[in-house]
Amino acid sequence: MRHYVDREWAAHLADVMVRRAGWHYYERAPERRVEEVATWMARVAGWSEARRADEIAAYRAEVELAEVAKVERIDLNVLEHPVRGENSRTR
């Protein structure tokens, strides 16, 4: 953890979970790991308990937003062309 904070400038829990260590992607159940990683990071970075709780909430919000974005992707091939009134499936 010290490496991520000192050498890779990780300032937030999501920096470590998502962008540095990749635990969000490679752990089977990253949500179970969040509390532990937040505790490690709090010790190294000198966070208060309130900051630790805020970082956990921010990480969860970031992950939720990313999941929503994945689900709400639009298949551009089925959208109607605004001028021609056709889409790739009707051509």
84 occurs within a structural domain: no
Residue 15 included in any domain: yes
Confidence of residue 48 (pLDDT cuts 50, 70, 90): very high
The answer to whether residue 68 sits within a structural domain is yes
Residue 34 maps to a domain: yes
pLDDT bin (cut points 50, 70, 90) of residue 71 is low
Is 40 within a domain? yes
Percent of the chain with pLDDT over 90: 35
Q: What are phi and psi of 86, to 5 degrees?
A: -130, 165
* 85 is a domain residue: no
Residue 63 has pLDDT above 60, yes or no: yes
Residue 29 lies in a domain: yes
CA distance 28 to 88: 38
The predicted pLDDT at position 73 comes to: 59
Nearest-angstrom CA–CA distance, 25 and 85 = 41
Of 91, 64, 88, 63, give the one whose Cα is nearest residue 77: 88
pLDDT of residue 69: 67
- Dihedral pair phi/psi, residue 77, rounded to 5°: -70, -20
Range of the domain at 41: 2-77
Domain count of the fold of the chain: 1
How do residues 3-40 score in pLDDT, each as one tens digit? 888 878 889 999 999 888 878 877 778 888 899 999 99
